[in-house]
Chain A
Amino acid sequence: MKTTPSTNARHGFDNLLILVQKNLKLLVRARASSLVVILGPLLVIFLAGLAFDNTNLYAVRIGTYSPAYNDLSNSFIDKLVERQFQITRYPSEESCVQGIRRGETHTCVLFPSDFAIGKNVSNEVRFSVDYSQINLVWTILNVMTTSVTARSAELSRNLTTVLLHALDFTRKSVADRKQNLIGLTTQNDEIGQRVANIQAELLEIELSFDPGEVGLGNLTSAKGVVKHWVDNSLNLGKTALAQAQHFIDAADELVRAAGGGSTDLTTALQESMDDIEELTARMESTDTLVQQEYAQLSTLIDQIAGRLTQTKSQIDLAASSQTFTLDELNVITRLLDQALLNVLTIQKSMNEIEKVIGAIQITDPEAIVQPIKTTITPVVAERSYLNYLFPTLIALIVLFTAILLTPTIILFERNSPAYFRNFMTPTSDFVFLASVFFTTAALLLVQLAIILAIAAIFFTQILHAFAYAALVLALFISACIFLGMILGYLFNSEETAMLAAIALGSMFLFLSDIIIPLESMPAVIMNIAQFNPLVLASDLLRRTILFDATFSEISVSLLMLVLFTLASLLLFTIVYVGVKRNAFSKYLARFAPKKEQA
């Protein structure tokens, strides 16, 4: 029969259908692992749909420990119970942490022993979390922090209310006490004035005294002069008396020497002698008297001098006291000035306090505790976790199904004895390769159709925005199938290919933002990971399914996905050409008797 391009094409298409049909039959009839590959993703999405069709983490189990549970710690725990978390109280911190390690709980809340409000304590509530549960830890931390923050805010509101009450009371008290301060200022001023008066009075008191001015020295000098003169007079009288005595004696002796002279003379001499003796006696008496009087005068003058000295001392003391008093009054004046200054400062401060308190406009405790309220509004209408997970789940299912199923189909064929007979037929290699591609694609489409049907139960938006998503899926499916085909032709055993597929899938998974955010990766890895097809596809699917992105918004990422798909195709072509050269010889060697080639 003559063959034309059109008949060739028809045969090619017929054969393609036959081969796809055959591949599907073989897969369905093959061992359970193939069914797992086919049905596994459907089961995953179904379970994910059931599991994540909510916005809470009800299954989170929380362990708590407090050395002494009190109302405050219990209120925190009640808050967690309100969110329907399962709470387990542990007897010790260690057992609580061990609970996480044993998998009994996801996190452990450790309250301090002196956990109370109003005391001067840190009130540090600690969370022990298992960072190895990398997919859960942030969610748990978020939930726990939210719960604790809520209770903490509640307490803050109470404390703020008390604080505001105190502030209000202060404001009123300041207003009331301002008059007192004004009175205090006036009184201070009055006191100052009086002190000034006292100072003036004191300054007017003259307490200067010079004893010299009294003439006591002159008196003493005069006393001495008088005494001198008296003494001189007395001495002169005595001398005169002595002279007189002497003359009389001399006269007497002369009389006597003259013989007895006249009795009268003698008598007169005697008498004169008597007189002189009497005068001398009297002189003596006068001297004694003078001495006594002088002594008395002297004593009196000394007494006067002493009194003057005493008076001076007293006046000096008074002057000193005056000086001291004036000094003190100066100090008092200064203190009064300082006090006035302080009062004025206090007054100013109180004015400022009154002004500041008066300036506080927010008096609502809620507004002070949470001056900025945050409300998280999802950018899409849906709010269940499945919505957010759905694009990523789709991308993951496509990736793993394609890279696991495609090598399975290829190696089913390559390791089948029928490969030999296929090689004998005129059906081209391209048709066989296309059959592998379309078998996997058909299975994936069936899976996706079922997934979408299941997803439609949980939410509906996806069905409206599937046009671009379909384009993204077509590209990503193609890229993943090409990767799977590379594995199918690179490896000769199904087991090795499976291991390689899992390794490749894991690599894509770990270099994506599914487990940890790209932003937390080292810069170099992040730059590489941005070109990860899984990242590209899940991002594109998220944007197309969840955000109804327009073509222009996704064009760059889409172009990158197209390039990756073409690169996969090119790489597959290189691998296939390289492997095919020896593939059939290897096949023959496997099935032909070894001895012939030994």
Chain B
Amino acid sequence: MVAAEALRRHIQDALARGAQRKDLMTLLLRAGWPQEIVTEYLGEAKAQSMPALVRLRGVTKRFGTNGVLDNVNVEIPPGSLFGIIGMSGVGKTTLLNMLVGFLEPDGGDVLLQMPDKTEVSVFKSRDIVKTMFGFAAQIPSFYAKLTVRENVEHFAALYNLPLAKRISQCDRLLRLVGLERAQHTLAQNLSGGMQKRLDIACALVHEPSILILDEPTADLDPIIRNQIWDLIRQINRQGTTIIVASHLVSEIEKYCSTIAILRNQRMTEIGTTAQLRDIYSKHYEVFLKTQRKEYAKLRAWCAKDSALFLNVKEKEGMFSVQTPQPRTALQQLLRIIAQNKETITHVNVDRPSIAEVFELLIRHENHPLH
């Protein structure tokens, strides 16, 4: 994880210094970095360096007396996999609905960058919005009584695709989402994961520039979730900007290049995982697991130096401790373990997860951390 973060920063720095993306990719692949990682990070870096594709400018929305969004300002770069996290009911779906113009804000605007670099309001250019956005809502939106193929072809037709294009597009999308073999199955007979994939396929029939996904993995089991995220990333890698809203923070953290935290009616934090971690925690976390899983001596040792060892925890057989000096802390801990003749089965040094940051933020909702 440390290496991955280092790589991300390295790529950003290199690009900032004017390095060519192609050269940088060749260099990194030669250095042995997996192509997938390099492509993703380069994509993220590119997205961050480009002007915003979607821009929320002072968006405010109220339902009656209940304020949902208050002066929200966000810029979503093209090609990014943009994650929005927030507690359930915080306004994520409302925000997404406003992105595509379903709901009009009480104040502010949502601007969309056109290919000619001009910006249009989504509320004033609904036809453009309809062609540029794809939307997969929390509840899959298709006809349960139509087959998988019929659904995709139906929506392709409504986007005015010619018949030949419709068929080829349908084939391509079914292949993409892995529903080729189920193409003649009624949608109502699909599993939850397959329904979600069909929903995404339906949202992509018109090859939108921006795909909005609202809770794409809610109510799915972990394996299916991973499959869905793999699909999302695959779509993203093909150049589609993806905006995902989810309350499953760990998934957003894991897959999204940019994360926005929605709380208190505002987008309080926006940035990459590393940036958010940097903003909210300068500490590292050391994870250890020994064969005997007895950490009493480690705890005692940590208690001696509260400046070096912070927030000592044991969870599910794992010992963890936060520290501002990971190298020193790890050396000391390894030494104690060696003295005790313990065998280490797992060791890792990482920054606190976004989930933890998010948890921290929520816990201190009314007490700013910095």
Seen from chain A, the residues whose Cβ lies within 8 Å of a Cβ on chain B are 11, 14-15, 18-19, 22, 25-26, 29-30, 416-427, 584-585, 588, 591-598
Contacts and interface: CB of A to CB of B under 8 A. Distances in A.
Contacts of A422: 158
Question: Interface size class for chain B?
Answer: 35 or more
Contact of A584 (B90, B102, B160): B102
B159 interface: yes
A465 B97 CA distance: 56
Nearest to A598: B66
Nearest to A432: B158
B141 A418 contact: yes
Contact of A424 (B91, B135, B144): B135
A417 B160 contact: no
A22 B154 contact: yes
Interface stretch (B3-11, B109-117, B126-134): B126-134
Given A425-B159, A588-B102, A18 B154 contact: yes
B143 A597 contact: no
Nearest to B61: A596
Interface string B81-99: 0000000111111100100
18 contacts: A29-B145, A29-B186, A416-B143, A418-B141, A418-B142, A420-B135, A424-B100, A425-B130, A425-B158, A425-B159, A425-B206, A426-B131, A584-B102, A588-B97, A592-B94, A595-B88, A595-B89, A597-B94
Contacts of B143: 22, 26, 416, 418
Given A426-B130, A426-B159, A593-B88, A420 B146 contact: no
Contact of A421 (B68, B94, B138, B202): B202
Contacts of A15: 157-158, 160
A15 B154 CA distance: 9
B160 A11 contact: yes
A4 to B, nearest CB: 12
B355 to A, nearest CB: 20
B93 A14 contact: no
Of listed A15, A26, A592, A597, residue having the most chain B CB within 10 A:
A592
Query: Which 6 pairs from chain A and chain B are nearest by CB?
Result: A595-B89, A425-B158, A421-B141, A29-B145, A18-B157, A597-B63
Given A18-B157, A418-B142, 13 more contacts: A14-B160, A22-B143, A26-B143, A416-B143, A417-B140, A418-B143, A420-B141, A421-B142, A421-B155, A425-B155, A591-B137, A597-B63, A598-B89
A424 B146 contact: no
Given A18-B154, A592-B93, A585 B142 contact: no
Contacts of B14: none
B19 interface: no
B203 interface: yes
Contact of A596 (B90, B102, B133, B206): B90
A588 B103 contact: yes
B150 interface: yes
Contacts of A421: 135, 141-142, 155, 202-203
B347 interface: no
B279 interface: no
Given A596-B94, A597-B66, A585 B141 contact: no
Interface string B14-57: 00000000000000000000000000000000000000000000
Nearest to B68: A596
A423 B97 CA distance: 12
Nearest to A21: B154
Nearest to B158: A425
A417 B160 CA distance: 21
A299 to B, nearest CB: 159
A422 B141 CA distance: 9
A63 B100 CA distance: 74
A34 to B, nearest CB: 10
A31 B303 CA distance: 68
A409 to B, nearest CB: 12
Contacts of B141: 417-421
Contacts of B130: 424-426
B146 A26 contact: yes
Contacts of A14: 157, 160
B139 interface: yes
A585 B98 CA distance: 12
Contacts, number: 100
Contacts of A26: 143, 145-146
A423 B158 CA distance: 10
A14 B63 CA distance: 39
Contacts of A596: 63, 68, 89-94
Contacts of B91: 596
B311 to A, nearest CB: 32
B90 to A, nearest CB: 7
A11 B143 CA distance: 21
Interface string B291-324: 0000000000000000000000000000000000
Nearest to B186: A29
Interface in B262-281: none
Contacts of B100: 424
Contact of A25 (B133, B135, B150, B206): B150
B102 to A, nearest CB: 6
A11 B161 CA distance: 9
A208 B225 CA distance: 163
A290 B135 CA distance: 186
Nearest to A25: B146
A420 B141 CA distance: 6
Interface string B185-228: 01000000000000000110010000000000000000000000
B160 to A, nearest CB: 4
Contacts of B66: 597-598
Of listed B157, B202, B203, B206, residue having the most chain A CB within 10 A:
B157
A422 to B, nearest CB: 7
Contacts of B89: 593-596, 598
A187 to B, nearest CB: 114
A420 to B, nearest CB: 4
A316 to B, nearest CB: 137
A105 B14 CA distance: 100
Of listed A25, A417, A595, A596, residue having the most chain B CB within 10 A:
A596
Contacts of A29: 145-146, 186
A248 B63 CA distance: 198
Contacts of B155: 421, 425
B139 A417 contact: yes
A25 B150 CA distance: 10
A266 B255 CA distance: 231
B88 A417 contact: no
Contacts of A25: 145-146, 150
B138 A591 contact: yes
B226 to A, nearest CB: 24
Nearest to B160: A11
A26 B146 CA distance: 7
A15 B202 CA distance: 16
Contacts of A18: 154, 157-158
Contacts of B142: 417-418, 421
Contact of A585 (B103, B145, B159, B203): B103
Nearest to A17: B157
A427 B103 CA distance: 19
Contacts of A427: 158-160
Contacts of B203: 421
Contacts of B144: 416-417
B265 to A, nearest CB: 11
Contact of A30 (B145, B154, B206): B145
A594 B131 CA distance: 28
Contacts of B202: 421
A588 to B, nearest CB: 6
B127 A593 contact: no
A473 to B, nearest CB: 30
Contacts of B150: 22, 25
A586 to B, nearest CB: 12
A33 B68 CA distance: 42
B138 to A, nearest CB: 7
